[in-house]
Chain A
């Protein structure tokens, strides 16, 4: 199959769906868009996130994951935006359109075989995946019964199967916390959640409603030092770690269990982006983008968890809508010329990264959202915004935590007010 469209959207999860809808609202004909989705359903990871708490920002009501996804799937169907399911994109290459412009997306599909899609713009919305055991350097045997939290979530919520009955969880990411509750409700005994860092990787609300509600202990500054069992997990030993994150001898505790779940971080899925030559950010493991969420390859935009891992899907939808609108403007020739020298944004002193990492004053809208995460827990702190090294404003924050995404909004008039502005710096300040 060979097809020419204006915008190809890689991924039919929350980011891809919102981006496609937004492109239509910006004036692209639905026929000129194609969403390519690897799974047999639209909706992405939301389909297995059956817990509630989604959509309060977007819809002012509390939805479960599948309900939230359904709102966007309905819009895609209403607009009749074409999508291809079970389509695994294997390559994105430049110079796909006649005359050597645009991009070619190559995908595999069981019915269509090799699929080639030529597009003027591509929206990267592939999401992220979990850090697996092999990336964690866990000692011990390699028996059955070790899963990432998301795999266990898929087993229970989509396949109707239990991964085990006595469970230890390593890592306090949100999916691990949610699964601690889910497995408890289904009759398993979750013995402990161990977290290497001195703070939780997940949202405070999930510690309250998933662990505290069920009396599941959370052990901060602890990690797995041994896994026993040849065929199936028989026990997991955890130990306290010092400030150097190394286990402290003598603090080992052995938990008998048949299952170990890993909730140790998410990594944006960027093999396609890297192969295309998109410039990557070493901190987020996602593409470097400008104010329009455009990557270093013109016409290639990125949004959602492939860009940086979000805490709330509502923010993914919001960001994806922006990427979709900008891709539409790019295709329609409405996007302004880039400034000769964009304003760079530097993340410092506790601010780990920013998205975007540069702003073109020509292109920016009246308000520009800057999203970021901090690298530690701070109380009574602030985010200082500096224009060319001089304090512009400091925003007070009672609590800053690595598990929560933070944001500041910059006004175009403020940036234009500084003659020859070159750099904006964001840093954490302590009071």
Chain B
């Protein structure tokens, strides 16, 4: 069975309008994208959607109470709240540098949690 899905690419703010054609559940083609990332998004979104999770974790001894973090790679969409739960109880000690790995294999996703902002110890 042929199926056509129209999507808005979220990989960058351009928001390309994608058309994904599926044949018996398998992706046949992605059109409307202006870069390879868009084609990848289109294929993923109809088979196993993934997202980067960005949030904050508590800092001890820092200039601010929290520091910004992200999953280093995209994680399955259905795991987003598991990731949030895993980082909610997390405390890190200042100083924190951008790129510091704060947690490996978060919520069993295989992705690590990295700091995206710095916080010098005070």
Q: Which residues of A does B touch, CB under 8 Å?
A: 47, 50-53, 56-57, 62-67, 70, 156-160, 182, 185-186, 203-205, 207-209, 213, 311-312, 398-399, 404
Contact = CB atoms under 8 A, between A and B. Distances in A.
Contacts of A156: 56
Interface stretch (B5-13, B19-27, B103-111): B5-13
Nearest to A47: B117
B94 interface: no
Contacts of B70: 50, 52, 64
Interface in B26-48: none
Contact of A50 (B11, B12, B54): B54
B11 A398 contact: no
B56 A157 contact: yes
Contact of A205 (B9, B54, B84): B9
Given A52-B52, A213-B51, A203 B13 contact: yes
A158 B68 CA distance: 8
Contacts of B15: 203-205, 404
Given A50-B55, A62-B12, A399 B17 contact: yes
Given A70-B117, A185-B84, A404-B15, 15 more contacts: A50-B54, A52-B52, A52-B54, A56-B13, A66-B98, A70-B98, A156-B56, A157-B68, A159-B64, A159-B65, A160-B65, A160-B66, A185-B53, A205-B12, A208-B8
Interface in B61-112: 64-66, 68, 70, 77, 80-81, 84, 98
18 contacts: A47-B117, A50-B55, A50-B56, A50-B68, A53-B12, A56-B11, A62-B11, A64-B116, A64-B117, A66-B98, A66-B117, A156-B56, A157-B56, A160-B58, A160-B64, A185-B55, A205-B8, A213-B51
Given A205-B8, A205-B10, A67 B17 contact: no
A56 B56 contact: no
Given A66-B68, A70-B118, A208 B10 contact: yes
Nearest to A48: B68
Chain B, interface size category, equals 20 to 34
Contacts of A67: 98, 116-117
A-B complex: 6 closest residue pairs judged by Cβ atoms: A160-B66, A66-B117, A50-B68, A160-B65, A205-B10, A56-B12
Contacts of A186: 55, 84
B30 to A, nearest CB: 16
A70 B118 CA distance: 9
A50 B117 CA distance: 8
B77 A160 contact: no
Contacts of A205: 8-10, 12-13, 15
A272 B69 CA distance: 36
A404 B14 CA distance: 9
Contacts of A63: 116
Contacts of A213: 51, 77
A66 B77 contact: no
A51 B51 CA distance: 11
Contacts of A65: 68
Contacts of A204: 8, 15
Contact of B68 (A64, A312, A398): A64
A157 B17 CA distance: 31
Contacts of B65: 159-160
A398 B23 CA distance: 27
A211 to B, nearest CB: 12
Contacts of B55: 50, 182, 185-186
Nearest to A63: B116
